[in-house]
Amino acid sequence: MAPPTGVTIGQAAAFAGVTVKTLRHYHRHGLLAEPPRDSSGYRRYGSADLLRLVQVRILATAGVPLAETGPLLAAGTEQFTAAVGDVDRRLTEQIAALTARRDTLRRLAEGDRLLLPDRALAILARFTELGFDPDYAVGQREALVLARAVAPELFDIFLTQLEHRLANPEFVLLTKRAWDARSWAPADPRIEELATALADNLLADRERLAVPAGVRLPPDAATRYGLVNHHGEDQSAPAWARLNGLVEARLRAAGVSIPHQ
């Protein structure tokens, strides 16, 4: 009796570098014809079967979808080259997308770096260096995140204003006092005095209060402005909201264009 020719499914899988399960998966998708069985009922894979199996495995490893593998192997040289180029393009796009996702995850691990640029983070660090209350710094961080999202065209201008104001010792002291004013009664006369002092300080650098020429505000600018400048007022004492409102009213009275809801 002649010895069986070819190799078993287990040997074929091992030689081609795949699992038996994967080999059978290729059979189900019609990528590899099932060889005939020997007298013992076992399928025997010849060299042609192994060559086809290796070709399918190489294409699958390269990222070619199984649905495209059969036509690709049957294609002529020019078609094959074009198809491989198309697969290469798609893989490049997938790599770029995965790289972006990985970078996002890395930035997430760094906390605020996902939400704010380095320039804004430097400003937040400055609040800490100047001795502002940690809760105030948290509120400013949230306002910066909101500002970047709802008014991106004004974000850099907003950062420039903050940088200059934090370099003004009088403004720093007035702002710290304004934060302490949260515990005052809304009718406390000191609120009006503080609002006047803050407005005067801001008006002393009036040019920085103006929106630069060429910057077009969106139709809903008042809503966007309110979301940022009045963030947290519903969580704070009413004195804080009144102080903010008085400062804005004094600036408007002085001719500064501030969106008003």
CATH number of the domain that residue 59 is part of: 1.10.1660.10
For residue 130, pLDDT beyond 70:
yes
Q: Note whether residue 128 is domain-resident.
A: yes
> How high is the pLDDT of residue 157?
86
Q: What 3-state class would DSSP assign to 31?
A: coil
Q: What domain range includes position 68?
A: 1-74
DSSP alpha helix (H) spans, 7-133? 9-16, 20-28, 47-61, 66-74, 77-109, 118-129
Are 14 and 132 in a shared domain? no
> How high is the pLDDT of residue 68?
84
If one counts every other C-beta atom within 10 angstroms of the C-beta of residue 69, the result is 22
Task: Tell which wins on pLDDT, 105 or 68.
Answer: 68
63: pLDDT confidence band, cut at 50, 70 and 90?
confident
Are 91 and 194 in a shared domain? no
Are 157 and 236 in a shared domain? yes
* Summary mean pLDDT of the chain: 84
d(CA 198, CA 210) in angstroms, rounded, equals 17
Q: Note whether residue 42 is domain-resident.
A: yes
> How high is the pLDDT of residue 261?
54
> How high is the pLDDT of residue 78?
77
For residue 2, pLDDT beyond 50:
no
Are 138 and 212 in a shared domain? yes
Identify whether the C-beta of residue 215 lies closer than 8 Å to the C-beta of residue 154: yes
> How high is the pLDDT of residue 19?
92
For residue 162, pLDDT beyond 80:
yes
For residue 210, pLDDT beyond 80:
no
Last residue of a domain, one of 20, 52, 74: 74
pTM of the full predicted structure? 0.56
